[in-house]
Copies of this chain bind each other. A is one copy, B any other.
Amino acid sequence: MTASSGNAREALAALDPRLPLHARLREALTTRLRGGEWTPSEPLPAESELAQDYGVSLGTMRRVLTELVDEGLLERRQGSGTYLRRMQAQNSLFRFFRHHRQGDAVPTGRILTRETRPAPAEVARALGKRTGTKALRLHRLRSYDDEPFLVEDIWLPLPAFAPVRDVELTEIGDLLYPVYEQLCGLVIGSADEELWVELADAEVAELLGCAPGEPVVVVERVARTHAGDPVEVRRSRGLASTFRYRVEIR
């Protein structure tokens, strides 16, 4: 028995005994994963070790881990092990802004302003906070080869994101989710995105290099941790003329 096996068996024993063993095991593991016991950077213990900790057969443990992979909570990395899964941002709608220099490259992200402000009502609501709650606002410009193609307005609740407020701006790279993970221990597990069209105001027009009143596509994302808590509200605006979205219907 390892040090953690006592807790593991207790957690399993505390669940409704009328549920089949694999359902109880699944619930116990889900609770631990959502609670943030592992980050996406460290593998879970070996299946055999986990099976032993919970006092279940290797077959039962494998079955439940496979279910959690199918559900998207875990992922298997070839030759490396099983990990907490990060959200796959390549499904984001903002990927449908076309830029001729794009390819598979990540656009650069330059933070124009970083400030502490009371969250506007709709942002506070999306974050599950009271109106006027203190939040960190990042205003960011994303570019390919110095050609801007996306203006972003990002709201992060405080104090959870205080480390992002306090770190040197030069320490923040082109991607923010790794920063949230490293500085705040917050892993993004899923998001809702909504798309609509509006007309560029003077500020957006200047940043994107278009005339005010030109149509822009807005992608609003509310990102959540694996526990389901909303932790980021982001509005990305790009020229409508560069947007093209494709789906298959069955």
- A residues near B (Cβ < 8 Å) are 72, 87-89, 91-93, 189-197, 199, 215, 217, 221, 240-241, 243-250
CA distance A244 to B192 in the complex (A): 13
- Contact of A248 with B195 in the complex, beta carbons under 8 Å: no
Question: Which residue on chain B has the smallest CB distance to residue A73?
Answer: B250
Chain B residues lying within 8 Å of A217, measured Cβ to Cβ, are 197
- Contact of B240 with A197 in the complex, beta carbons under 8 Å: yes
Name 19 extra pairs, CB < 8 A, besides A88-B250, A190-B249, A215-B240: A91-B247, A91-B249, A190-B248, A190-B250, A191-B248, A192-B247, A192-B248, A193-B247, A193-B249, A194-B246, A195-B244, A195-B245, A196-B240, A196-B244, A196-B245, A197-B243, A199-B215, A215-B215, A221-B249
Chain B residues lying within 8 Å of A249, measured Cβ to Cβ, are 87-89, 91-92, 190-193, 221
